[in-house]
Structure 1
Amino acid sequence: MSTTVAVLGTGIMGSGMAANLIARGFEVQVWNRTRDRTRPLVEAGARAAASPAEAVQGADVVLTVLFDEGVTAHVMEQALPSCSPETVWAQAGTVGVKGTDDLARLAEQHGVRMVDTPVLGTKEPAEQGALVVLTAGEGTALAAARPVLEAFSSREVHVGDEPGRASGLKLACNAWVTTLTAGVAQSMAMARAMGADPRLFLEAISGGALDADYAHLKGEMMLSGEYPVSFPVHGALKDLDLMVASARGHGIASGVLDGVRVQFKAAELSGFRDDDIASVFEAVTPDDDTR
């Protein structure tokens, strides 16, 4: 008998994850607030549900890939009463440590086991089944969810048995992603302002200890001025708020993150809210700059 998976949230990440589950032979039931976003998955073999409660009926694993804690809690308050005691909830959205703790309590209230399973990667890795999944949770529940997680990931980094530990590591990783992207934007803007072709910045770091594939990926987008979305600016700002709060809550200086957040907020206010995070380049480039 095949495993039935309910995927709640089929946006940029959830759609790719669900598509891999379908391709691997899982029975997939999908729900999204905007139902049109489930159509390609239905055409690939999924069943669309009219509500979260309908989506989770008969599901062995429920996978949530929703925007934040508030949305996730609202959706799961509708879904959890329809889950069976054997259902495992794999929570993959970026909600922070406190958010994960709150959701774990919600699951416990309904007698459902929740595991903390945020992922590293964006649109393309999700579609390719090449995400890195960070995991934390009770062993048997995690073992039940693991075949589902393996369908859309290239590897797992296990953080511990306590939900929230994986979400903490996810914030640390996203701190690197946003800081690196803002740093590439800053360096390329400075190179241009001081008379160098900004492409030479990418050439200068290429192949050395300072190099990173991600710098070239985002740098090329900055050079083109085209920002097809893999990780939107408004999503990065939500995560940065979680990062700053977490850092301060643990007595860690947040000055670097504060500065990065200022740059992403400027990008949002400049009209790039729904564009890829590479558009932060526009927030550090003079208005009269030409490529």
Structure 2
Amino acid sequence: MTTVAVLGTGLMGAAMARRMAGQGLDVRAWNRSADKVRALAPWDVTAADSVEEAVRDADAVLTTLPTGDVVASLAARFLPAMAAEAVWLQMSTVGGTWAERLLRQATEAGRRMIDSPVSGSSEPAAHGTLTLIVSGDKEALDHARPVLDVLGSHTVHVGTGAQASRVKLIVNSWMTASVVAMADTLLACEQLRVDPSLVLQVLDDGPLRMPYAMQKAEEIRARAYPAGFPLELALKDLGLLADERDRQPRLPGVLRDTLRRAVESGHGREDIAAVAESMKRDTA
């Protein structure tokens, strides 16, 4: 049986842990807040008291943590405790610069790391339908295949270094732009007294169809924003992308300002679709 250590059990980490345990993998988990790990007990996820205990003899180690510096500080502890043949799947969205640092950290410790941020929210993580963006050498990928196949329905291999983290930031920027565009579309319907269902029908029935945007449209219309991808994380990712770009076009700045206002108005922990609430207030 493949043994997996999950370090970080927020929305994504917890969903991944439940999915892997449900598919027969031996899953151990650690989180700074122990209550979040204990909540996974009904899914047969074993709580570890320390990161060292979690990774000991594991075949794969998954990190799903908020920032690069948090990942690096924990890696200093768990890399020496990992089995020599184990693979570290770095699934946190930390950006290319941090991913390169973490790769060097793993290499210096004599361990293998795959840069593997995921495209998708907690719901596809729970159902094993994530798109996995990976960069790493083939041998490490082959070793991690039992984990990757459980978590994702599609794996895109984009290189051998930190390319996956950069692809992820670009994808997240596009996703954020699509949500803001949908929020503005529904706001325009309200302002022009147009039935939004008619506009959505035109979008859904033709070449402009986009399932993700249609899902967000339903959340916005219902004013229900369960956190699949929290606003504050979307804003963080836009900042990471901005840090790596030499020249800034106007659109990313507009997106960041729009999300920042939504976070400042109290929607940071809600789904990114909650940006519609602050956009509506801004035009009231």
What TM-score, normalized to structure 1? Answer: 0.93
1:98/1:67 CA distance change after superposition, 3 Å: same
State the Cα deviation string for residues 30-73 of structure 1 (Å, max 9, x = none).
10111111224322222111111111111111011111212211
Q: What is the distance in 2 between the residues matched to 1:25 and 1:91? A: 22
Residue in structure 2 matched with residue 285 of structure 1 by the alignment: 280
Shift of 1:288: 8.4
Matched, 1:267 2:267: no
Asked if 1 retains the 8 angstrom alpha-carbon contact of 2:117 and 2:164, the reply is yes
2:207 partner SS: coil
State the Cα deviation string for residues 162-220 of structure 1 (Å, max 9, x = none).
2x111111111111110000111111112211222334332231211222111111111
Residue in structure 2 matched with residue 200 of structure 1 by the alignment: 198
Q: What is the distance in 1 between the residues matched to 2:262 and 2:197? A: 21
Matched, 1:184 2:182: yes
1:287/1:101 CA distance change after superposition, 3 Å: closer
1:7 partner SS: strand
Residue in structure 2 matched with residue 124 of structure 1 by the alignment: 123
- The one-letter amino acid paired with 2:261 is A
Q: How does 1:16-27 map to 2 (within 5 A)?
A: 16-27=15-26
Q: How does 1:122-161 map to 2 (within 5 A)?
A: 122-161=121-160
2:78 partner SS: helix
Q: How does 1:54-133 map to 2 (within 5 A)?
A: 54-133=53-132
Residue in structure 2 matched with residue 238 of structure 1 by the alignment: 236
Runs of 4+ aligned structure 1 residues displaced above 4 Å come to none
Shift of 1:286: 3.3
Q: What is the distance in 1 between the residues matched to 2:158 and 2:134? A: 6
Q: What is the distance in 2 between the residues matched to 1:14 and 1:275? A: 17
Residue in structure 2 matched with residue 229 of structure 1 by the alignment: 227
Q: What is the distance in 2 between the residues matched to 1:71 and 1:201? A: 44
Q: What is the distance in 2 between the residues matched to 1:270 and 1:50? A: 37
Residue in structure 2 matched with residue 258 of structure 1 by the alignment: 253
Q: What is the distance in 2 between the residues matched to 1:199 and 1:35? A: 45
Percent of matched pairs sharing the same residue: 39
Q: What is the distance in 2 between the residues matched to 1:179 and 1:279? A: 13
Asked if 1 retains the 8 angstrom alpha-carbon contact of 2:116 and 2:165, the reply is yes
Q: What is the distance in 2 between the residues matched to 1:46 and 1:271? A: 33
Q: What is the distance in 1 between the residues matched to 2:130 and 2:212? A: 15
Q: What is the distance in 1 between the residues matched to 2:281 and 2:78? A: 48
2:6 partner SS: strand
State the Cα deviation string for residues 88-116 of structure 1 (Å, max 9, x = none).
10101111111100111111221111011
Shift of 1:24: 2.1
Aligned partner (choices 166, 169, 177) of residue 168 of structure 1: 166
Q: What is the distance in 1 between the residues matched to 2:212 and 2:67? A: 25
Gaps of 5+ in 1: none
Gaps of 5+ in 2: none
Q: What is the distance in 1 between the residues matched to 2:117 and 2:262? A: 26
- The one-letter amino acid paired with 1:173 is V
Shift of 1:283: 2.0
